[in-house]
Amino acid sequence: AQSVSQHNHHVILSEAASLELGCNYSYGGTVNLFWYVQYPGQHLQLLLKYFSGDPLVKGIKGFEAEFIKSKFSFNLRKPSVQWSDTAEYFCAVNAPGNTPLVFGKGTRLSVIA
């Protein structure tokens, strides 16, 4: 069974600091990888996704993630965070085809001025 580990439960950063949120998954085959974000009071929405090709994917709002197959990782990065990035971030994985997404427990990001 697939599983997703997000190492950080809560991250607190100052504005303009760089961000990296860890995500590791356990699945030996081909996977699709995703980051979802939930801003306070809003519903979950897709931040970025990787299906194949360039392992460095860019998403909305300046976020990017790098798929490193050998490490089973898909870490989320942003060079300079803003207060508006305060949210909960979820990594998710599924095997291509008819399988539902498996989510990590989420990382809460708090950006302070």
- Does position 52 bind other proteins by CB under 8 A? no
DSSP secondary structure letter of residue 84: G
Between the alpha carbon of residue 65 and those of residues 41, 47, 57, 85, the distances in Å are: 25, 10, 5, 16
- Out of 57, 63, 78, 104, name the contact with other proteins by CB under 8 A: 104
CB of 44 to other proteins, least distance (A): 4
Buried/exposed code over 31-40 (b: 16+ C-beta within 10 A; e: otherwise)? bbbbbbbbee
- Out of 28, 29, 40, 43, name the contact with other proteins by CB under 8 A: 43
CB atoms within 10 A of CB 62: 14
Binding mask of the shown chain, residues 20 to 39, with x at each position contacting other proteins by CB under 8 A: ------------x-x-x---
Total of chain residues touching other proteins, rule CB under 8 A = 26
Residues at the interface with other proteins (CB under 8 A):
4, 6, 32, 34, 36, 42-46, 49, 51, 90, 92, 94, 96-106
